[in-house]
């Protein structure tokens, strides 16, 4: 079995690739551990100047692996969600003070979208579909998205995305400020790699200090923990169990 997360370093750019294309790059807890490790490396290794997220296949990421969630919820593990590998990755993201770039094709669901809120430059395919269907799964926002998404696109648009879970396309993502470029799907990786190369050529300490000034790392991590408590309590709730079962059985959930 091939590795679900691939890393490659060259010319100051650490490229992290989601490589679970057969599952639409749905992310497991094991994958989060690898993502956390790579993100920490990007911050601590002076040779790394830029972190670039890419994906194999036709989707950036389908979000969290539902089978993982069902197992965690069934074990009553929701209360310890802040200690889970996903939150190790989120903490590493909140602490990252070097530029992060993302190349997005196809679906970007849940963490596939909220990850982009921590990237400094985002290139999307014009026909990409981005969504945050947390409430569809009876969950709650994560990755500090309850602050970052409305900050970027406004409260009403963010609430609609959270509450209805309906996707927006890449052109809309660009218009709303979620992306820097919207290009043809075949051009996404090339354009993102070009932007990463430009960033890698800039004065590294100047870029790091600029990013630190633009982000309140402590506030982001504090909010992530608050979100984790809400997320965790919901994850083991009857609502979430019904939503997970409905998802796997391809039917509408019944919250009556």
Query: Using one digit for the tens of pLDDT, what is the confidence trace for 8-20?
Result: 999 999 999 999 9
- Above 80 in pLDDT, residue 72? no
Q: What is the pLDDT of residue 248?
A: 86
Q: What is the pLDDT of residue 253?
A: 93
Nearest to 220 by CA among 131, 140, 111, 142: 142
Q: What is the pLDDT of residue 183?
A: 98
Model confidence band, residue 74 (pLDDT cutoffs 50, 70, 90): low
**Domain residue extents for the chain:** 5-187+200-206
The structure's pTM equals: 0.95
Straight-line distance from the first to the last Cα atom of the chain, in angstroms, rounded to the nearest whole number:
42
Q: What is the pLDDT of residue 82?
A: 66
Q: What is the pLDDT of residue 76?
A: 53
Model confidence band, residue 235 (pLDDT cutoffs 50, 70, 90): confident
- Above 80 in pLDDT, residue 80? no
The Cα–Cα gap between 54 and 251 comes to: 32
**Listed range (61-65, 123-127, 242-246) with the worst mean pLDDT:** 242-246
Query: Using one digit for the tens of pLDDT, what is the confidence trace for 166-222?
Result: 999 999 999 999 999 999 999 999 999 999 999 999 999 999 999 999 999 999 999
Burial of 74 (0-12, 13-18, 19+ CB in 10 A): exposed
Q: What is the pLDDT of residue 83?
A: 73
Q: Are 91 and 217 in contact (CB under 8 A)?
A: no
Q: What is the pLDDT of residue 56?
A: 98
Q: What is the pLDDT of residue 66?
A: 83
Instruction: Report which DSSP code applies to 61.
Output: B
Query: Using one digit for the tens of pLDDT, what is the confidence trace for 142-169?
Result: 999 999 999 999 999 999 999 999 999 9
Q: Are 97 and 153 in contact (CB under 8 A)?
A: no
63 vs 70, residue with greater confidence: 63
Query: Using one digit for the tens of pLDDT, what is the confidence trace for 88-141?
Result: 999 999 999 999 999 999 999 999 999 999 999 999 999 999 999 999 999 999
The Cα–Cα gap between 12 and 14 comes to: 7
Model confidence band, residue 244 (pLDDT cutoffs 50, 70, 90): confident
Q: Which CATH number fits domain 5-187+200-206: 3.90.226.10, 3.20.20.70, 3.40.30.10, 3.40.190.10?
A: 3.90.226.10
The Cα–Cα gap between 211 and 220 comes to: 14
């Amino acid at each position: 079995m091939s590795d679900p997360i691939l890393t490659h370093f060259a010319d100051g750019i650490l490229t992290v690739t989601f490589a679970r294309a057969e599952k639409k790059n749905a992310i497991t807890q094991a994958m989060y551990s690898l993502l956390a490790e790579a993100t920490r490396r990007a911050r601590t290794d002076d040779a790394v100047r830029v972190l670039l997220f890419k994906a194999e296949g036709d989707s950036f990421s389908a979000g969290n692996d539902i089978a993982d969630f069902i197992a965690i919820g069934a074990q009553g593990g929701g209360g310890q969600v802040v200690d889970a590998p996903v939150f190790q990755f989120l903490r590493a993201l909140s602490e990252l003070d070097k530029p992060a770039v993302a190349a997005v094709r196809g679906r970007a669901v849940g963490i596939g979208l909220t990850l982009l809120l921590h990237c400094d430059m985002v290139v999307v395919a014009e026909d990409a579909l981005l969504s945050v269907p947390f409430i569809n799964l009876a969950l709650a926002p994560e990755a500090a998205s309850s602050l970052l998404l409305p900050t970027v696109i406004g409260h009403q648009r963010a609430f609609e995305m959270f509450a209805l879970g309906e996707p927006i396309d890449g052109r809309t993502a660009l218009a709303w400020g979620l992306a820097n470029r919207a290009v043809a799907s075949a051009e996404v990786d090339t354009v993102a790699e070009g932007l990463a190369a430009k960033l890698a050529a800039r004065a590294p300490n100047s870029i790091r200090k600029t990013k630190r000034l633009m982000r309140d790392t402590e506030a982001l991590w504090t909010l992530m923990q608050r979100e984790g408590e809400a997320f965790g309590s919901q994850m083991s709730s009857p609502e979430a169990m019904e939503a997970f079962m409905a998802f796997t059985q391809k039917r509408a959930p019944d919250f009556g």
